[in-house]
Structure 1
Amino acid sequence: MANIIKRRQVQQKIGLSYNAIYERLNPKSPRYDPDFPKAVKLGTAPNSPLGWIEAEIDAWIAKRFEKTNAAACEA
């Protein structure tokens, strides 16, 4: 079973603010990242909190690290 983490835990893992996370999820934002993991609602109410699958967040971090490393090696 997948481990779900809430926004504050995502913030701690990736080092981005609340707004920066939601900008990466918003296709209208210049900071939109189509590779950023999609959030899942943790309830049925309209104001239910969101959560992310921890393995997807970890994979996104690893992918960004690989891109950064590749760019540094090419420089």
Structure 2
Amino acid sequence: MSHEYYRRGRNWFTAIGVLFCIMGGIVLIQQLLIWGIDFVEDFLFNAEFTNEKVSVAMIGFGLFMIALGFRKNEQKR
């Protein structure tokens, strides 16, 4: 493969970002299946530090890592 082709997004930033998004999504789906949407909304919007807020933060951090993975990298010559 020549030096002109850069595999954008195929690096560890993207992999870690996808991992965080999947893990946060699994926890949110699990909580929705167990408790239902009304309780999850209550847990998400109350003043306490809850598992649902951590899951949303994990998804946000995952999206940030994916965005970092798709930035343009300049190769050194």
TM-score by length of 2: 0.34
Larger Rg: 2
Structure with larger RCO (C-alpha < 8 A, sep 6+)? 2
Q: Name whichever structure is richer in helix by fraction.
A: 2
TM-score by length of 1: 0.35
Q: Name whichever structure is richer in strand by fraction.
A: 1
